[in-house]
Structure 1
Amino acid sequence: MPQADILLEAGTNELEVIEFFIDEGPERGHCAFGINVAKVLEVIESPGLTPLAGAPHPCFMGAIPLRGLVLPVLDLAVWLDIPRVPHKNEIILVTRFNDRTTGFLATGVTLIHRVLWRDVEPPHPALANLAGNCITGLVRLEDRFIQLLDLEKILLELDADLAAGPMPAPSASRLRALIVEDSGIMRQMIHDRLEEANFEVTLARNGQQALDILRDPGRTPPDIVISDIEMPLMDGYTLTKTIKDDPRLAATPVVLFSSLVTDELRHRGAEVGADGQITKPQFANLADLARSLIASRTRRGGEAA
């Protein structure tokens, strides 16, 4: 499957969602889910995997060869703790993010939809704050909803080594960072790592909330904005472009910290003026880059004076 998302212009607050479903049986019917097309390399037919005895997690179905790769396959229904009626022609969504290629088993694929992030409804705070929540947003399509899945959360919980690594060294002076991230688990991890690096952290759940904070005259402006890309209401690309187009905010460094920061998609962040881009979950590199960008801004300000 081609990555059609790269045809979208960065900063327009659009995304393309591939809709897939899990058949929960005649009483419950099909449950619709979606993920960003930019994360999907292709969709293949499942070879009919069965759960492995003694697997590290019940959702792990084993691995299959795919053009020189060994592709681990996870059963989404098992992870989501919902029933799945087996079918002959089930599919595997082959994804690439967090520097990992992973397959996710589902019943079938429906369509690809182009939508606006402003029309993606964030989950209710009571759901969003649950430790096990992996739904980042809801897309309304006429008579039904598509639930957007937080696949990064699944991989992080299955492989703790993804978030491992040395803690960043603390800054000599206290710095202020605005973190914009819709995933609760990732938001807390970034918060903790930057606090350890001597940052005073303010949190926002999406780009619109972050923009409201930045434009609030009663708040002390942050030294840097660190933003995810995929978020309900306003994505990170649109937030970055809006900041850089605003003379009052344009000097504030913006770092995009996302699983969508890849060699193929890095140009999109550059198009909207991002000062830096890092692939999740490189936390130590994130703190170092933030300090470097803040120092560069300070030097430029001193030279201008």
Structure 2
Amino acid sequence: MMNESSILLESGTNELEIVEFGIGHNKFAINVMKVKEILNPVQVVAIPNAHPYVEGIMELRGEVLPVINVAAALGLQESENHQLDKFIVAEFNQLKTVFHVHTVSQIHRISWAQIEKPSGMYQGQESQIIGVIKLGGEMVLFLDFEKILLEINPESGIKVSDVKKLGPRERSLKRIVIAEDSAMLRKMLYETLSEAGFQNLEFFENGQDAISYLEHLAGDQEELIGTVHLVITDIEMPQMDGHHLTKRIKENPALSKLPVIIFSSLITNELRHKGSGVGADAQISKPEISELVLKIDELIL
């Protein structure tokens, strides 16, 4: 079991803890906030006609959980000795999932500023890499686990159909700033929020770019309300995370009245205090797009 105290970092410091794990000779990372525990391999029951990434299901203290083979998801070779492999039990997007990896080495505490944005040559919408971390002369790749799950089950993502259920909506020219590092999710958010009637959307790939834009707009103004009406931010982003972005907005006199919604896979009862601690006006778990739209309506009236 992960030591709970190890993940309760002070909110808004732009720091995180990562679990470093291996697939073959490659090193990867997952945010500690996603990790519930790390296990030695147990019996997995295969499921007929399952997705190629899905090994099967396992039981953990009365819960039946899917087991995802990370090597298969990344197109890498299997380990030579499965008995030495590890299972990472993770929870995000309101789901628990088990990720089968080859090794788990250690936990590192780093700054989001240390995570470099992936090169455009291998980023794109199909990339499974959020960022690159340089540790001890080696490169550790920060994986997009939400993307892996979405490839397995596209219905688990943000869907325009959910917004259409809200019925006809008036068009709004109120400007919304959105910080989201995933190209795929930026596209989904554009489609769904446009369907919801929001036409003036400004997208940024991380919190650093978003805060630079907002501070530049604010200039010497006493407050920014009227130029920008609301901010939506993910939590996990290279350079600056959503908690630190929210803190920077709320501490700036010209920006402090700007409503901020944290829209992230990491919104859980255990972690909700982090967003509250930096002054977020609302916290909504992906992929609850209808709830996001209704909260935007409420906050920009």
Give the TM-score of the pair, scaled to structure 1: 0.89
Q: Is the 8 A contact 2:58 2:64 kept in 1?
A: yes
Q: Distance in 2 between matches of 1:195 and 1:97?
A: 26
Task: Give the C-alpha shift of residue 206 in structure 1.
Answer: 0.3
Query: Per the alignment, in what secondary structure is the counterpart of residue 73 of structure 2?
Result: helix
- The answer to whether the 8 Å contact 2:15/2:111 transfers is yes
Aligned: 1:202 with 2:198: no
Aligned mates of 1:216, 1:189 — CA distance in 2: 27
Alignment-derived partner of residue 217 in structure 2: 217
Structure 1 counterpart of 2:69: 75
Aligned to 1:151: 145
1:16 and 2:17 aligned: yes
Task: Identify if the C-alpha distance between structure 1 residues 3 and 99 changes in structure 2 by more than 3 Å, giving closer, same or farther.
Answer: same
By how many angstroms is 1:126 displaced? 2.9
Kindly report which structure 2 residues correspond to 1:178-193, keeping only aligned pairs within 5 A, or say none. Answer: 178-193=177-192
Distance (Å, rounded) in 2 between the aligned partners of 1:96 and 1:172? 36
Other-structure match for 1:27: none
- The structure-2 alpha-carbon separation of the partners of 1:275 and 1:171, relative to structure 1 and needing over 3 Å to count, comes to farther
Q: How does 1:272-283 map to 2 (within 5 A)?
A: 272-283=278-289
One-letter code of the match for 1:175? K
Superposed CA deviations along residues 70-121 of structure 1, whole A, max 9, x for unmatched, are: 0110100101111122312211100000011000101110000000001111
Deviations 1:137-162 (A, max 9, x none): 11111210110111011112211221
Correspondence 1:43-122 to 2 at 5 A = 43-47=38-42, 49=44, 52=46, 54-87=48-81, 88-122=83-117
Contact kept, 8 Å, 1:240 with 1:274, in 2: the verdict is yes
Which blocks of at least 5 consecutive residues in structure 2 are unaligned? 220-225
The equivalent residue for 1:302 is none
The count of residues paired between Structure 1 and Structure 2 equals 287
Share of identical aligned residues, percent?
A: 40
- CA distance in 1 between counterparts of 2:230 and 2:3 reads 35
Contact 1:13–1:117 (Cα < 8 Å) also in 2: yes
Contact conserved, 2:47 with 2:55, CA < 8 A, in 1?
Answer: no
Residue 69 of structure 1 and its aligned partner are, at CA, apart by 0.4
Uncovered stretches (5+) of structure 1, i.e. residues with no partner? 24-29, 296-305
Aligned to 2:123: 128
Kindly indicate whether residue 294 of structure 2 is the aligned counterpart of residue 288 of structure 1: yes
CA 1:53/1:244 → structure 2, altered by over 3 Å: closer, same or farther?
closer
What's the CA shift string for 1:15-62, capped at 9, x where partnerless? 000000012xxxxxx210001001000001112648x47433111111
1:252 pairs with 2:258 = yes
What is the alpha-carbon distance in structure 1 between the residues aligned to residue 138 and residue 188 of structure 2?
Answer: 33
Give secondary structure in 2 for the equivalent of 1:152. Answer: helix
Checking the alignment, whether the CA contact within 8 Å between 1:123 and 1:138 is kept in structure 2 is: yes
Q: Give the aligned partner of residue 298 of structure 1.
A: none
